[in-house]
A and B are shown apart, each in its own frame.
Chain A
Amino acid sequence: MEKVVTRHFGIENSQRLETYLQHGGYEAARKALKEMTPVAVIEEVKKANLRGLGGAGFPTGMKWSFIPAANPKPKYLVVNGDEGEPGTFKDKYIFERDPHAFIEGVIITCYAIGSHKAYVYIRGEYEKSIHTLRAAIAEAYAKNYLGKAVMGTAFDIDIVVHPGAGAYICGEETALLESLEGKKGFPRLKPPFPAIVGLFGCPTVINNVETIACVGPIIAKGAEWYAKLGCEKNGGNRLFCVSGHVNKPGVYELPNGTTLREIIYDHAGGILNGKQLKAVIPGGISAPLLTPDQIDVKMDFDSLKAIGSMAGSGGIIVMDETTDMVWAAMIAARFYAHESCGQCSPCREGSGWVYRSIKRIYHGEGRMTDLQNLPGIVNNIGGNTICAFGDAVTMSIGSYVTKFRHEFESKIKESLT
């Protein structure tokens, strides 16, 4: 299987410019800037069926084409490296193992959308990622891959690395823009969409780190090649992050059509201590749980959506047969209660209410009314908030309560006797 984003991961000193150049580095950027028009770059990315790998799966080329070329304001590329979705840890590897491939993707993307400045927002905890990327950016400036008139063209580009400060909500793209402007991470109402009114009120594209890392290879090897790696409307490979009760947790680059069963059993070494699978989160904590009868699903955006879950951020969390699902629901609910930004009442109040109800049930103090009320509370958060965090609470917690209702019932019955 051909690797794309992880192609240099095993090479010694893969983070250095010298190493990157030895492996054809910056040739794709040279090709884009010298031989292609911005429109041609966008068309190529559209044809490749590259989709947003932060979790939403929006077609990347289409997103770029929303930037109004005639708008006289500066245009910005903002890269979302906040990587806070529990179960997700792939962008960190890109920053630390192949920062120049990422930088090259930034250059090509900026050229395509007519931007001369990119901000890379990295979660504050990722000190090593921040440090490694800054060092690579300094190398790129020194050799004129960044800065004024790059690579002998008339194109100028600057990149700024911006550290976050520990708030899950800042992974939401408009909260990230607020945060980047020096404010609390409160998501913005849409419309207007960031393509029209984004950073500093200017047209802005926001892409995930992994998405950007795919751009160079697409330009170098062509859209057709990239599209063929994946399936139907979902080109390329994906970085799947596997954690929880598996023998070999880690990041695996695999084609989009790979099944969840293959990822768990063939790549991640199967369930820890030879136990049986009980449940699995397929795309970060916000993706509804799947049960063992559902794991033959292909892991692309459309297939997971078709069975009522989502591919999300590629974070797969595996739970074995010993897992108490009321306890697991409580952990997820605690996360949401802690991370709700507090802007919208249904989410601020609802997430805490959900957590307290499940906690009561888990600790043997629950009543049947708690369980009866839960679906109503949970369903009144999603769809009633500014951002998708509310929907995440509804989908995620709702799946525990629906699929493992018997465990909630038996906990309550035990506590009543």
Chain B
Amino acid sequence: MEVVIFTAELLQQLDKITSQYEQRRAALLPVLHAVQEDRGFISPESEADVAQYLGIPVVSVHEVVCFYHLFHRQKKGKCHFSVCQTTACALRGAEEIIEHIEKRLNIKSGETTPDGKFSLTRVECLGACETAPVMQNNKEYKGLLNKKMIDELIDRNS
């Protein structure tokens, strides 16, 4: 069956990924990363597309999307904060940073501002404890956070 669900460019990228694996299904995580990069998040339609592309049941894609928290089932804000809340960051003031973001944006963890510009997620250890408190701003690591840095980021992206 010819697959017409992805753009030619994305399809080429996916074919390159799947060619590296002995079993097609093994490419599921990198394929989902590529689809999310292209479409912003993983919708039920995207799950069906990926299932068709890899030749596996939709439920096998859906349960994986739900299991791994780097896959988003809703659109995130243009400027997304993933702030670490685990021990090393907590000891260096992560909670104050999270509260400051919540107050500035008037949202809680897991929410997006109504204008779609910002979103916030509390995450567990990002593996950058030497720069605690740390977050990923979209995909970029930003460490040694303080309230001023947060203010500047919010002002710049407002």
Contact = CB atoms under 8 A, between A and B. Distances in A.
Contacts of B71: 165-166
A244 B92 contact: yes
A160 B86 contact: no
B23 A200 contact: yes
B127 A317 contact: no
A164 interface: yes
Contact of B22 (A85, A200, A334): A200
B136 A181 contact: no
B147 to A, nearest CB: 19
B109 to A, nearest CB: 12
B136 A125 contact: yes
Interface string B107-130: 000000000000000011111111
B91 interface: yes
Interface stretch (A7-15, A35-43, A245-253, A369-377): A245-253
A167 B86 CA distance: 14
Contact of A166 (B22, B69, B85, B91): B69
B87 interface: yes
Interface residues of B, number: 42
B57 to A, nearest CB: 12
Among A125, A162, A249: residue with most chain B CB under 10 A: A125
A167 B67 contact: yes
Given A125-B127, A167-B67, A335 B29 contact: no
Interface stretch (A48-56, A87-95, A190-198): A87-95
A243 interface: yes
Given A124-B33, A251-B130, A338-B124, A331 B69 contact: no
A86 interface: yes
B64 A244 contact: no
A349 B3 CA distance: 43
B85 A334 contact: yes
B33 A285 contact: no
Nearest to B88: A243
A181 B68 contact: no
A148 to B, nearest CB: 16
Contacts of B79: none
A177 B136 CA distance: 27
Q: Looking at chain A, what size class is its interface with the partner chain?
A: 35 or more
A50 to B, nearest CB: 23
A335 B132 contact: no
A249 to B, nearest CB: 4
Contact of B63 (A184, A242, A245): A184
Interface string B30-71: 101100000000000000000000101000100110011111
B25 A245 contact: no
Contact of B129 (A125, A165, A315, A334): A315
A317 B91 contact: yes
Interface string B17-29: 0001111011111
A14 to B, nearest CB: 18
Given A89-B127, A125-B136, A165-B32, A317 B26 contact: no
Contact of B130 (A89, A123, A334): A89
B49 to A, nearest CB: 16
B72 to A, nearest CB: 10
Contacts of A88: 127, 129
A290 interface: no
B90 interface: yes
B129 A319 contact: no
Contacts of A200: 22-23, 26
B139 interface: yes
B113 to A, nearest CB: 23
A167 B70 CA distance: 8
Given A87-B129, A184-B64, A184-B67, A168 B124 contact: yes
B86 A285 contact: yes
A249 B130 contact: yes
A160 B21 CA distance: 8
A401 B64 CA distance: 35
Interface string B130-141: 111000100101
Contact of B87 (A89, A168, A317, A341): A317
Given A86-B88, A334-B85, A335-B87, A250 B22 contact: no
A123 B127 CA distance: 9
5 contacts: A74-B22, A164-B70, A165-B33, A168-B124, A331-B86
Q: Which 10 A-B pairs have the closest CB atoms?
A: A182-B28, A165-B68, A243-B129, A166-B70, A86-B125, A243-B88, A182-B25, A184-B67, A165-B70, A249-B130
Given A185-B67, A243-B88, 11 more contacts: A84-B124, A167-B67, A167-B68, A181-B26, A182-B54, A182-B64, A281-B87, A317-B91, A328-B87, A328-B90, A335-B124
Interface of A: 74, 83-89, 92, 123-128, 160, 162-168, 179-185, 200, 241-245, 249-251, 281, 285, 315, 317, 319, 323, 328, 331-332, 334-335, 338-339, 341
Interface of B: 20-23, 25-30, 32-33, 54, 56, 60, 63-64, 67-71, 85-88, 90-92, 123-132, 136, 139, 141
